[in-house]
Structure 1
Amino acid sequence: MIKEKQDMSEKMKHEELVELLQEGKIGYLRFVMESENEQDYLEWCRTHGTDPSDESAEFYIEQTDIEQMDRQVMDDEDYGIWN
């Protein structure tokens, strides 16, 4: 039960961040730095030789979204949903 509440609060925070980003109240850099992906993003910056910025954060989000969608499609194909 506690884990579910924790997950819900994290999800709500993510939804709030998405809303702030869509409304233009925060930039991509703040969006990533406030999210659970902060450490992954900073590591991504190091491996790609770039500094944290709105531009690199936006690119990071685009790349990770594509990877997640690809994984989802593969998972769906494994389960025969698309057949």
Structure 2
Amino acid sequence: MNLIGRRVKILVATDPNQVGLSGELVLERSKTLMLESRGRRLTIQKLGTVIELAGTGRGEVIRGDDILGRVEERIARDAS
């Protein structure tokens, strides 16, 4: 699943200041996500973070621990 361009909300984070932030995911790296929120770009650690995908209508929740690693490898693994 490609998360780039998706609107998300941070439900749980190791940094309590990040809980409740929402915005668009603009970059994904092996250990971090970059969230654009209110004109700022914020780096969010995947480890220990839980995000909710907006616009799915299902309240889909993803644990950052489950998406650690390179996005290309995860997409290839999900496709097989």
TM-score of the pair, normalised by structure 2: 0.29
- Higher relative CO (Cα under 8 Å, sequence separation at least 6) belongs to 2
* Higher helix residue share: 1
Of structures 1 and 2, the larger Rg is shown by 1
TM-score of the pair, normalised by structure 1: 0.29
